[in-house]
Amino acid sequence: MLRLGRREFGPHEPVIMAIVNRTPDSFYDRGATFGDEPALARVEQAVAEGAAIIDVGGVKAGPGDEVSAAEEARRTVGFVAEVRRRHPDVVISVDTWRAEVGEAVCEAGADLLNDAWGGVDPRLAEVAARHGVGLVCTHAGGALPRTRPHRVTYDDVMADILRVTVGLAERAVALGVPRESVLIDPGHDFGKNTRHSLEATRRLDEMVATGWPVLVSLSNKDFVGETLDRPVKERLLGTLATTAVSAWLGARVYRVHEVAETRQVLDMVASIAGHRPPTVARRGLA
């Protein structure tokens, strides 16, 4: 059982985490949800389309203008409080690597801290434990926040992913984070080149076999773009193909921009796997 906030998710229930960027320079939407009203409208749409988790980010993942912890908190804390007020049952996640920001958003009502930079601030897990919220433990290959990989190498990329993510997850539980609220993430593109991210996808079942629920953040990423030689706005099909493979291999949570399309893919895979009946079954019966 995966338990986040007020929600519990069964072992064969795929979960969509919708991205809401509170940044003016996000790589995909270019600041479309930087303002409060567009961001709140995005939350309403994502929930209506089937997202169970809203992932709020206050800092662009890639290089760009410096964003202080105070500015990151300004972009996220009040928004988290408003989403909590409007949607008492939705799971609110915040994408941050900073303990001070984690502290503030947890006080505002966040249920999950999405540490995409692999424990670069070890105090973030302590914050999660203190507030009894969930934690995403990600492999970032030792990269510093907001840096791009350069000629990174691994003897065995999946072995390194398992070592880091399982180690972070076990530390989090030892600190007091609820075990049923800890996820591991292979960190596609983070500290990896395209071949590394493809291999991480191909071998995702090895992460699933650890018993920790696996989150994948695939949406419109560079490894999809390089694999198909497509710009950011033309990566949906590649993203959905990667999503289907990840679902078949057992991933549980999917961090995405396009919720409705992802929902259809996950429902189809679940039905093929025998975990979900068809919505309609008339063919050959009428």
Q: Which residues are catalytic?
A: 221, 255
Whether 63 and 147 have beta carbons less than 8 Å apart is answered as: yes
Closest CA to 231 of 15, 26, 28: 28
Question: What would the DSSP string read from start to end of 38-94?
Answer: HHHHHHHHHHHTT-SEEEEESS-SSS-S---HHHHHHHHHHHHHHHHHH-TTSEEEE
Asked whether the beta carbons of 58 and 67 are under 8 A apart, the reply is yes
Task: Provide CB contacts within 8 A for 232, sequence distance 6+.
Answer: 27, 28, 220, 225
Which helix (H) or strand (E) segment holds residue 265: the answer is: helix 259-273
- Dihedral angle over CA of 207, 209, 215, 219, nearest 10: 60
d(CA 192, CA 262): 24
Q: Which two tokens stand for residue 57?
A: 């980010």
Alpha-carbon 75 to chain mean position: 19
Q: How far is CA 12 from CA 135, 171, 246, in A?
A: 20, 26, 13
Say which residues have a Cβ less than 8 Å from residue 18's Cβ, sequence separation at least 6.
42, 43, 46, 47, 49, 51, 53, 54, 55, 256, 257, 259
- H or E stretch including 260? helix 259-273
